[in-house]
C-alpha cells in the first residue's frame, strides 16, 4: 500500500524557499503571484497493515516532520 | 485562487533523500517500508485568471521543476 505525507511550514513561520520562488517568478515575468509556500511530499511504499495511518503518523512525529514549526497531512492511497 | 504543484523525481532517477528516509525509518524500528520517494510541493496564491493551469505549467517548465529528471503535477484548488 502507498501513503503520501505532505509537510508544510506552519502559518506564521517564515518560508525563505517560498519567498525565493515568489521573487524568482516575478523576475521571470509571472505577475499576480501573491504568495508561495514550499513544503515536502514523501511517498511511502508500505507493507499491508491494519493501522497504517497511525503508523505513518508516528513516522511523522518521530522523523518526517519537525512539529515545532511544521504541520503534516497523511493520505493513505 | 490557489494552485498546488507537486514535483517528484522521475522513476529510475536515484532519490538519495528518499533512500536516507527509508534507512532512518528502519533504524527507528518501522518495519515494512519498501520504498520512499521524496519530492517537493509548492502552494501558490495567484490572482484570478482564466488560464491559470497553463500559467502554472509554464512556471513549472521555466522554474519549478527540472524536467530532465523531475515530473510535476498541477492542481488548481
ipTM: 0.91
Question: What average pLDDT is seen over chain A?
Answer: 96
Nearest residue of chain B to residue A26 (CA atoms)? B59
Nearest residue of chain B to residue A54 (CA atoms)? B30
> Alpha-carbon dihedral of residues B56, A35, B2, B49, nearest 10 degrees?
-60
Residue with cell 506564521: A12
Mean pLDDT for A50-56 is 93
Instruction: Give Cα separations from A47 to A51, A77, B42, B55 (angstroms).
Output: 11, 13, 29, 39
Q: Which CATH number fits domain B2-76: 3.40.50.2000, 3.30.1280.10, 3.40.50.300, 3.50.50.60?
A: 3.30.1280.10
Q: What is the pLDDT of residue B48?
A: 85
Pairing of strands A2-9, A70-76: antiparallel
**Calpha distance B51→A21 (Å, rounded):** 21
Q: What is the pLDDT of residues A34-50, one digit of tens each?
A: 999 999 999 999 998 88
pLDDT band at B4 (very low <50, low <70, confident <90, very high): very high
User: Which chain A residues are within 8 Å of B45, Cβ to Cβ?
Assistant: 33-36
Q: What is the pLDDT of residues B12-53, one digit of tens each?
A: 999 999 999 999 999 999 999 999 999 999 999 999 888 999
Task: Give the mutation candidate from B2, B9, B32 for the A interface (greatest A CB count, under 10 A).
Answer: B32
Nearest residue of chain A to residue B63 (CA atoms)? A25
Would you tell me how many other CB atoms lie within 10 Å of the CB of residue A47?
Answer: 11
Q: What is the pLDDT of residue B54?
A: 95
Amino acid at each position: 500500500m502507498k501513503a503520501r505525507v505532505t509537510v508544510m511550514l506552519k502559518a506564521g513561520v517564515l518560508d525563505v524557499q517560498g519567498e525565493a520562488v515568489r521573487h524568482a517568478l516575478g523576475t521571470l515575468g509571472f505577475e499576480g503571484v501573491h504568495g508561495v509556500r514550499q513544503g515536502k511530499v514523501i511517498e511511502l511504499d508500505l507493507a499491508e497493515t491494519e493501522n497504517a495511518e497511525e503508523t505513518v503518523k508516528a513516522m511523522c512525529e518521530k522523523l518526517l516532520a519537525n512539529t515545532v514549526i511544521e504541520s503534516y497531512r497523511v493520505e493513505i492511497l
